[in-house]
Amino acid sequence: AQSVTQPDIHITVSEGASLELRCNYSYGATPYLFWYVQSPGQGLQLLLKYFSGDTLVQGIKGFEAEFKRSQSSFNLRKPSVHWSDAAEYFCAVGASNAGNMLTFGGGTRLMVKP
Amino acid sequence: GAVVSQHPSRVICKSGTSVKIECRSLDFQATTMFWYRQFPKQSLMLMATSNEGSKATYEQGVEKDKFLINHASLTLSTLTVTSAHPEDSSFYICSARGARSTDTQYFGPGTRLTVL
């Protein structure tokens, strides 16, 4: 069965600082990997996704993520955080043989200090 | 990107009543729709997967008779919470994608259900 672990429940960074949110997955084959962002009381917005090819994926809002098969990781990064980035971030893994059903990590709540 | 809407955004109902939540794909044909449940400060848990014109596939532990899912068209899926109880209070989120398994899932804004 597939699973996703986001080790950090909360992260606080200063505005302008760099950010890395960790995501580790467990899946038998090559996974489809996603990062979503959720603002309070809102649905999820897709930041980026990895299906195949270049392991460094660029997303919206200046985010990027790198797929590292050897580490079973798909960490999300941003070089300079803005106050508007404060939100909940979810990593998810999907399987092509399961209709791309998504399994979500527990989420990481990002707080940004002025 | 594609747009998925949910209606209502918030609903409060009395215990024992049934509540219907709609999920619509506004600008694409959603062959597959997913229903998730999210408890406060927790992650999303998949409840069921529905393919247009077929019966929904429910995840283990989800009561199919309590959470009725209908996906009668390529743009609309409904989740009906029957005989709702306070423990059914939650944030329900749907997502939709096209025919290919590599198609992106687009999420609706969610429906906050409160059962008194």
Quote the CA–CA distance of B77 and B69 in Å, as a whole number: 7
Q: How many CB pairs under 8 A join A and B?
A: 57
Q: How confident is the model at residue B103 (pLDDT cuts 50, 70, 90)?
A: confident
The minimum CA-CA distance between A23 and chain B, rounded to whole Å, is 14
Beta bridge partners of A10: A109
Position B102 scores a pLDDT of 64
Query: Does the CB of A86 have a partner CB in chain B at under 8 Å?
Result: no
E strand spans, B2-105:
4-7, 10-13, 19-25, 32-38, 44-51, 57-58, 67-73, 76-81, 90-97
Quote the CA–CA distance of B92 and B20 in Å, as a whole number: 11
| Contact state of A43 with B110 under an 8 Å Cβ cutoff | yes
CB contact at 8 A, B56 and B48: yes
Dihedral of alpha carbons B55, B61, B63, B68, sign: negative
| Contact state of B106 with A105 under an 8 Å Cβ cutoff | no
Q: Which of A20, A24, A45 is nearest to A35 (CA)?
A: A45
CB contact at 8 A, A11 and A75: no
Element (H, E) at A14: strand A10-14
The minimum CA-CA distance between A113 and chain B, rounded to whole Å, is 20
Report percent pLDDT > 90 for chain B.
Answer: 67
Q: Looking at chain B, which residue has its C-alpha nearest residue A34?
A: B104
Query: Does the CB of A14 have a partner CB in chain B at under 8 Å?
Result: no
**Buried-exposed string A10-23: b where 16+ CB fall within 10 A, e elsewhere:** ebebeeeeebebbb
B39-81 pLDDT, tens digit each: 887 888 999 999 888 889 999 999 999 999 999 899 999 999 9
Report percent pLDDT > 70 for chain A.
Answer: 96
- Token representation of residue A13: 């960074």
B67 Cβ contact partners less than 8 Å away, ≥ 6 residues apart: B35, B47, B48, B58, B79, B80, B81, B82
CB contact at 8 A, A80 and A62: yes
Residues from B in contact with A at Cβ < 8 Å: 1, 4, 6, 32, 34, 42-46, 49, 51, 93, 95, 97, 101-110, 112
Position A2 scores a pLDDT of 80
CB contact at 8 A, B2 and B106: yes
Q: Looking at chain B, which residue has its C-alpha nearest residue A88?
A: B41
| Contact state of B43 with A107 under an 8 Å Cβ cutoff | yes
A83-108 pLDDT, tens digit each: 999 999 999 998 765 456 788 999 99
B100 Cβ contact partners less than 8 Å away, ≥ 6 residues apart: none
- Tell me the average pLDDT of chain A: 90
Please give the DSSP secondary-structure letter assigned to residue A55. Answer: S
